[in-house]
Amino acid sequence: MNSRPLTFVHRGQLVTLSHVPPDRTLLELLREDLGLTGTKEGCGEGDCGACTVVLGDAVHGRVRYQAVNACIRLAHSLNGMALWTVQDLAQADGTLHPAQQALLQCHGSQCGFCTPGFAMSMFALYQNNVCQGRPVSRALAQEALSGNLCRCTGYRPILDAAQQMGSLPPVQVDEAELLQKLELAALASVSPEADWIYIAPTTQAELLAARAAYPQAQVVAGATDVGLWITKQHRQFAQVLDVTRAAELRRIEEDGAGLRIGAAVTLTDAFAALQRQWPQLQRFAARFAGLPVRNAGTLGGNVANGSPIGDSMPLLIALRAQVVLASMRGERTLALEDLYTGYRQTALAPDELLVRIVVPRPAPEGLLRAYKVSKRWDDDISAVCLALHLDIADGVVRRASIGAGGVAATPARARQTEALLTGQPWTEALAQRAGEALQAEFTPISDMRASGAYRRTVLAGLMRRYWLESQGQTAVSLEDFSLANCAPQEEAA
């Protein structure tokens, strides 16, 4: 089989590389093949952000800038895109980019190992906001830097630097020229798919044909999980099938019936679409993972992966979502919870792929909440994830949908608790019984994230919290804590 040529834009020029193995990571390509050692390797699993780079692609006639983790990103996914590393920010005469200069002025670096990653996340923030005339708030800076960890600074000077970028002399990317180069890169990327070791079809029909022809190929989307198999388990893949280039799988469609989210839609874009229907999901979405992981990972990949601690599945179960599976034989639709047959096992046939997720529109009487409990606030895996969606009309629970993660071998639907709630008056006593039913319905294991007893206690506590929030109570969680609200009020003169 042949090695697919890799073409991308770097420093304003088209770069074409041959003989890049299908399972080579972008970080390996940068450091070992191109000598761009400014990009650091920290954790090798997309947690610390030291390896952050920025990718650019053309979306509706504009360049979209996204920070991603190079350590778990496959090199071939760069095909047809633009790349910036920390070594590309300063001007030819040595003048620092505002992201770099602000870090310098605000003393945002101590040991310096994490600094290249922070600078790149700030570069993406600069391009997407400062260059568009939008100020960088503290909250926006925190979200943009949620995928970057630092052991030295305590973050305050780094956040100060992110807010200060806009006050420095501006630096602009020539987007008109870059769009032309991206168009050339896209043309160079078009080639027959036959016998490539990295297969990236551009239509669903071609993708399903490739799946049938190469059932042994490793399927990847954002590679936020497959990347870990490479970096941590040292697995090798002779052939890779990339689903993210198929146009149909990259679409989000919305109508009166609800949302149809293509399997290759990034988590960033998928949660943005869900938030338009359910604005209360904003905080949950921001905690799903660090921004670079959300920029790379896909909703379909998270669902098809079937991890019992994946956060999107409990939410989608509560939203009564369905998944559409497709092959050359046609399509079939399942309730999302019915996709899972065991630990990391699914109902997908060897020639099938998950192509989209269908989410019905919310009912007017629906009350949705999604809760994530983890050791660390940002960029961490859930110990328990619980999503509750009750349709409550005239004080009675007309319908209940509850999804849970971290409490069973698969993402689970709490059917027994749903049955207890349905048709009953929504009262504090009912909420207490529902919490007890949740505890009895699952027998979670003890592991590095939490004990089984803790997880069961959390389930009841989250049901209690849902009841309080349904009654309009606020400040029932640390999520609602802020220093401003705790500041003493000055006495009236």
Residue 237 covered by a domain: yes
Distance of CA 154 to the CA centre of its chain: 25
C-alpha 426/C-alpha 467 separation (Å) is: 9
Task: Look at phi and psi of residue 336 and say left if phi exceeds 0, alpha if psi is from -120 to 50, else beta.
Answer: alpha
DSSP state string for 337-401:
GGGEEETTEES--TT-EEEEEEEEPPPTTEEEEEEEE-SSSSS---SEEEEEEEEEETTEEEEEE
pLDDT of residue 8: 97
pLDDT category, 487, cuts 50, 70, 90?
Answer: low
pLDDT category, 121, cuts 50, 70, 90?
Answer: very high
Quick one: 303 and 443 in the same domain? yes
- Tens of pLDDT, residue by residue over 35-85, are 999 999 999 999 999 999 999 999 999 999 999 999 999 999 999 999 999
Phi, psi angles (nearest 5°) of residue 470: -65, -20
Residue 380: closest CA among 31, 115, 32, 46: 46
Quick one: 207 and 320 in the same domain? no
- The last residue of one of the domains, among 167, 199, 214, is 167
Quick one: 333 and 217 in the same domain? no
Residue 92 covered by a domain: no
Residue 384: closest CA among 345, 439, 426, 302: 439
Q: 241 - beta bridge partners? A: 199, 219
Quick one: 221 and 350 in the same domain? no
Quick one: 145 and 196 in the same domain? no
How many structural domains is the chain composed of? 3
Residue 1 covered by a domain: no
Residue 488 covered by a domain: no
C-alpha 97/C-alpha 89 separation (Å) is: 6
pLDDT of residue 153: 87
pLDDT category, 462, cuts 50, 70, 90?
Answer: very high
Q: Which one-letter DSSP state was computed for residue 133?
A: T
Residue 329 covered by a domain: yes
Q: 131-145, 164-178, 185-199: which has the minimum mean pLDDT?
A: 185-199
Quick one: 435 and 342 in the same domain? yes
Quick one: 240 and 255 in the same domain? no
Quick one: 239 and 255 in the same domain? no
pLDDT of residue 216: 94
Quick one: 228 and 332 in the same domain? no
The CATH code of the domain that includes 112 is 1.10.150.120
The CATH code of the domain that includes 417 is 3.30.390.50
C-alpha 225/C-alpha 337 separation (Å) is: 21
pLDDT of residue 491: 46
Residue 492 covered by a domain: no
C-alpha 340/C-alpha 346 separation (Å) is: 4
Q: Which residues contact 46 (CB under 8 A, 6 or more apart)?
A: 69, 71, 72, 147, 224, 227, 228, 290, 292, 293, 296
The CATH code of the domain that includes 210 is 3.10.20.30
Q: Are 435 and 464 in contact (CB under 8 A)?
A: yes
Quick one: 323 and 414 in the same domain? yes
Residue 487 covered by a domain: no
Average pLDDT, whole number, for the chain? 93
Quick one: 284 and 330 in the same domain? yes
Quick one: 205 and 297 in the same domain? no
Residue-range definition of the domain harbouring residue 163: 98-167
